[in-house]
Amino acid sequence: MTGNLVITNARIVDPASSRDAKGSVLIKDGRITDVVDGAAPGAPENAETRDARGMVLAPGLIDMRVFTGEPGHEYRETLTTAGAAAAAGGVTSFVLMPDTTPVIDDGALVDYLLRRGATEAPVNILPSAALTRGLKGEEITEFGLLREAGAVALTDGRNSIQSAGMMRALLTYARNFDMVVMHHVAERSLIADGVMNEGTLATVSGLKGIPVEAETIPLARDLQLAALTGARYHAAQVSTGLSVDLLTEARQKLPHVSAGISINNLSLNENDVAPYRTFFRLSPPLRSEDDRQAVIAGLNSGAIDVIHSAHDPQDAEVKRQPFAEASDGAIGLETMLAAALRLVHSGDVPLMTLLRAMTSRPAEILGLESGRIAKGAPADLILIDPDYPWVVQESSFRSRSRNSAFEGARLQGAVMHTFVAGRPVFSHADTVEGATA
């Protein structure tokens, strides 16, 4: 394809403009040239026309928390397989965490991953860079050089900064470069050797628990430091009602603060851990149903800004262990949207709110052009059949790893087509064209 395309007869849902109406989108040279109600008035030269047949046309999803194995652990995931999984899940851009070997703490590595992602993956790979050398929480990296190289954010990935003094220094330094700090809020001394949510179920299951305070104490500290420094701060992932309360209060005074949540914590709870299935061992752990309902309310209120997949491929060797000895993490690029649509079908979250948390809001936080359907924006788009029924099967994953928290789940809603810069990078097997990716 030339990148010239006309998509007609679509239900255009664009959270950036709050638009939800039937219309058409014109694309030329990889960018949107017009968005109109009803039928398109004309088409760019040499353009392909695609009838959406009433499906939802939305901005491509932007996933702010994706781990891969490349470089260093390609047996878990490569940029190529992660890119294919992302395209199948409607994710047109994702932020790559720096937890690799070597750690992404140098500008040359950021540049390398940008170049490799551009050639090896069908979607946009956006490297983040480490806050501290080797993710050790001791020595600050060169934020300015990392930004010049193309890093979109600063984070220590799975690791949490334990020192308040270090966190203040990091936020102060990041403010000088107007870079967002994405921090995994986790107090190690309270987590200790806990493996699931602290409570009755953990006791009955014979597993050591992780209290909600392991999340809320560092979050409260960070919010105070964000106020002190004026830095752009993003709580990478929250999971509790008490965290929502802290964020709600902070957001009244701190417009530069934001927060994300994993689709796992939004759609699953601690009861899913009961069979000791290690694919449900996650960080943060799956919380109580009361907490899940509270974070849903936080998403609706705007206290929580972003939904991400927390895609974390792990091989069978570290997952096929007793629950207490297994590694944290689950893949999620291919199931994030469909799992999130459960909340729409149940009436818990409006479709516009859900898509905003995966498109325009991440774009705003990261300073991206994408995440919207508007003239001049990159034509990163997805066509969704929100009612398409399917069952998650391990054999169908494009990801190199198979550790999904949704294996065997019955889901409703699927991505039928994914476009990056106006070019198709995925088509569902059940589309009229019959193409597969």
- Contact of 93 with 127, CB cutoff 8 Å: no
- DSSP secondary-structure letter at 283? S
Place 44 in a pLDDT band, splitting at 50, 70 and 90: low
* pLDDT over threshold 80, residue 220: yes
Q: Which helix (H) or strand (E) covers residue 247, if one does?
A: helix 241-251
CATH 3.20.20.140 at 59-366, yes or no: yes
CATH 2.30.40.10 at 5-57+377-399+406-427, yes or no: yes
Who's near 206: CB < 8 A, 6+ residues apart?
Answer: none
Token pair listed for 58? 């939305």
CA–centroid distance for 421 within its chain = 20
Nearest to 291 by CA among 198, 207, 160, 378: 198
Q: Which helix (H) or strand (E) covers residue 116, if one does?
A: helix 107-120
State the average pLDDT over residues 369-387.
98
- Contact of 120 with 83, CB cutoff 8 Å: yes
Side-chain half-sphere CA neighbours of 420 within 13 A: 21
Who's near 347: CB < 8 A, 6+ residues apart?
Answer: none
- Contact of 48 with 5, CB cutoff 8 Å: yes
Token pair listed for 178? 């107007």
Helix axes 164-176, 213-229, angle to 10 degrees: 40
* pLDDT over threshold 60, residue 436: no
Token pair listed for 344? 């729409």
One-letter amino acid for residue 414 of the chain:
A
- CATH 3.20.20.140 maps onto the chain at 59-366
Q: What share of the chain in percent tops pLDDT 70? A: 98
Place 3 in a pLDDT band, splitting at 50, 70 and 90: low
State the average pLDDT over residues 29-33.
94
CA distance readout (Å), 163 to 8, 75, 226, 277? 54, 34, 14, 34
Question: Is-above-0.85 flag for pTM?
Answer: yes
433/84: higher pLDDT: 84
Q: Mapping DSSP to helix (H, G, I), strand (E, B) and coil, where does residue 369 land?
A: coil
Beta-carbon neighbour count of residue 387 at 10 Å?
11
Distance separating alpha carbons of residues 14 and 29, to the nearest angstrom: 21
Place 90 in a pLDDT band, splitting at 50, 70 and 90: very high
Per this entry, what is the length of the chain? 437
Token pair listed for 182? 């994405």
| β pairing state of 56-59 and 381-391 | antiparallel
Q: What share of the chain in percent tops pLDDT 90? A: 93
For 337-348, write each residue's pLDDT tens digit: 999 999 999 999
Helix axes 241-251, 289-301, angle to 10 degrees: 20
For 91-107, write each residue's pLDDT tens digit: 999 999 999 999 999 99
Q: Which helix (H) or strand (E) covers residue 209, if one does?
A: strand 209-210
For 247-281, write each residue's pLDDT tens digit: 999 999 999 999 999 999 999 999 999 889 999 99
Nearest to 339 by CA among 401, 292, 273: 292
* pLDDT over threshold 50, residue 434: no
Residue 180: per-residue pLDDT: 98
Token pair listed for 149? 């190289």
| β pairing state of 381-391 and 410-420 | antiparallel
Residue 15: per-residue pLDDT: 98
- Please return the burial class of 186, using the count of CB atoms within 10 Å of its CB with bins 0-12, 13-18 and 19+: buried
For 144-194, write each residue's pLDDT tens digit: 999 999 999 999 999 999 999 999 999 999 999 999 999 999 999 999 999
- CATH 2.30.40.10 maps onto the chain at 5-57+377-399+406-427
State the average pLDDT over residues 274-291.
95
* pLDDT over threshold 80, residue 222: yes
State the average pLDDT over residues 363-368.
98
